[in-house]
């Protein structure tokens, strides 16, 4: 009995190819049932996300199963053979190692991210509920989830924010703790400022003010964020009440200065003020950082924190690889001991899919 995987991901194929081979949630059960008709395939799981489409299976003959899965993908999606150069095909031990790397976030577009673990768990549970998994794949996926847990707990691979928005949220939580009572102001209606504000909202910040030189655009963005638009010439008055200011406008001079912030802090009774300057050129005078309870970070500061966190994650890659290699061998030993009666199709397809080309 051998584990195989055939698939493509963000590294091997562009998005238009991944779209053509993706399995929609509404039709996934049908696809799983059809997968049972693949010659040589005993069990099968389909993983389909925006960044990858992969089919994992077990077989007595790896080559036959891999060829059958390729044919299934072509037939099911009605695609020609030109996508074959974007696919990868792994037998053991590479197939086992691949899933362990995927669920651990080592094969993701964002190195060390954890979302893919939940996506693979859902894919496995869907296949199990359809009767597509048996003892081998059940153990395989459970072992993969255990490996991911070990890597998260024993390495730094998932720790530290690695985007400007998530670093901003992390810093805000260090300053304010719970963000539920925090008010946020966006100066400028650009994409980066909006994303950062949404990141803060996702962690509890609820009140959002939007100021922009074009007031109509401020009103439009405020409506999208469930906030309130304010006039650009009323920034100082509004800043008395807010906790976090995100500024991202293109101007030839500072729009927030020490001269303006110093009396503002007195009016705020020295409550902490977190200033995020995403502008290039900078929007906020660096000297404001000299004031008590004012915390200023520009885009370079935030990017350097993100880069340092990424370096810390990658420094633990060798340890991750060691953990994966050890668990690949342990699982292969278990698989070799699996009795033949456990290696049969759990629920054969009543109407096998014709995968001949």
Query: What phi, psi does 251 have (nearest 5°)?
Result: -140, 155
pLDDT digits (tens, 9 = 90+) for 5-58: 999 999 999 998 899 999 999 999 999 999 999 999 999 999 999 899 999 999
* pLDDT tens digit sequence for 85-122: 899 999 999 999 999 999 999 998 888 888 899 999 99
Q: Is the peptide bond before 93 cis (omega within 30 degrees of 0)?
A: yes
Q: Could you tell me what percentage of the chain is helix, strand and coil, using 3-state DSSP and rounding each to the nearest 5?
A: 50, 15, 30
Residue 340, pLDDT above cutoff 90: no
For residue 145, give every residue at least 6 positions away whose Cβ sits within 8 Å of its Cβ, in sequence order, or none. 103, 117, 121
Q: Are 331 and 2 in contact (CB under 8 A)?
A: no
- What's the maximum distance between 2 C-alpha atoms anywhere in the chain? 80
Name the CATH architecture for the domain at 2-157+316-342.
2-Layer Sandwich (3.30)
Report the C-alpha gap between 321 and 315 in whole angstroms: 11
The verdict on whether 320 is a catalytic residue reads no
Q: Which CATH number fits domain 164-308: 3.40.190.10, 3.90.1150.10, 3.40.30.10, 3.40.50.720?
A: 3.40.50.720
For strand 88-90 and strand 52-59, is the pairing parallel, antiparallel, or unpaired?
A: unpaired
What residue ranges do the domains of the chain occupy? 2-157+316-342, 164-308
Nearest-angstrom CA–CA distance, 78 and 46? 17
Give the tens place of pLDDT for each residue, 65-74.
999 999 999 9
Task: Band the pLDDT of 351: cuts 50, 70, 90.
Answer: very low
Q: With a threshold of 0.75, does the pTM exceed it? A: no
Alpha carbons 40 and 225: distance in angstroms, whole number = 52
Three-state secondary structure readout of 116-136: HHHHHHHHHHHHHHCCCCCHH
Q: Rounded CA gap, 203 and 173, in Å?
A: 9
Cβ(58)–Cβ(1) under 8 Å?
yes
User: DSSP assignment, residue 256?
Assistant: B
Residue 179 phi, psi (nearest 5) = -90, 0
Considering the candidates 50, 266, 308, 325, report the single residue annotated as catalytic.
50
Highest mean pLDDT among 157-171, 175-189, 335-349: 175-189
Distance CA 355, CA 73 (A): 9
């Amino acid at each position: 009995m051998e584990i195989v995987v055939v698939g493509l991901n963000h590294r091997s194929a562009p998005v238009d190819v991944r779209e053509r081979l993706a399995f929609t949630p509404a039709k996934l059960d049908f696809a799983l049932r059809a997968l049972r008709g693949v010659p040589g395939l005993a069990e099968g799981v389909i993983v389909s996300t925006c960044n990858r489409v992969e089919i994992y299976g077990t077989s007595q003959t790896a080559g036959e199963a891999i060829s059958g899965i390729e044919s299934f993908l072509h037939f099911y999606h009605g695609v020609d053979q030109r996508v074959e150069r974007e696919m990868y095909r792994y037998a053991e031990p590479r197939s086992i190692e691949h899933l362990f790397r995927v669920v651990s976030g080592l094969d993701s577009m964002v190195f060390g991210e954890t979302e893919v673990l939940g996506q693979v768990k859902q894919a496995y549970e869907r296949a199990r509920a359809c009767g597509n998994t048996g003892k081998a794949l059940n153990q395989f996926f459970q072992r993969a989830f255990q490996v991911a847990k070990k890597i998260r707990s024993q390495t730094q691979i998932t720790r530290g924010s690695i985007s400007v928005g998530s670093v901003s949220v992390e810093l805000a939580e260090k300053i304010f703790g719970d963000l539920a009572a925090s008010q946020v102001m966006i100066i400028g209606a650009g994409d980066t400022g909006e994303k950062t504000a949404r990141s803060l909202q996702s962690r509890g910040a609820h009140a959002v003010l939007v100021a922009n030189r074009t007031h109509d655009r401020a009103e439009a963005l405020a409506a999208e964020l469930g906030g309130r638009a304010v006039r650009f010439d009323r920034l100082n008055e509004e800043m008395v009440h807010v906790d976090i200011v995100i500024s991202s406008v293109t101007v030839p001079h500072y729009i927030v200065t020490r001269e303006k912030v110093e009396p503002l802090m007195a009016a705020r009774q020295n409550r902490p003020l977190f200033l995020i300057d995403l502008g290039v050129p900078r929007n906020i005078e660096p000297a404001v950082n000299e004031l008590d309870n004012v915390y200023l970070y520009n885009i370079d500061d935030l990017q350097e924190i993100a880069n340092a966190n990424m370096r810390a994650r990658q420094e633990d890659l060798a340890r991750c690889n060691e953990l994966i290699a050890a668990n690949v061998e342990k699982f292969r030993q278990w698989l070799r001991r699996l009795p033949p009666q456990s290696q049969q199709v759990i629920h054969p397809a009543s109407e096998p899919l014709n995968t001949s080309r």
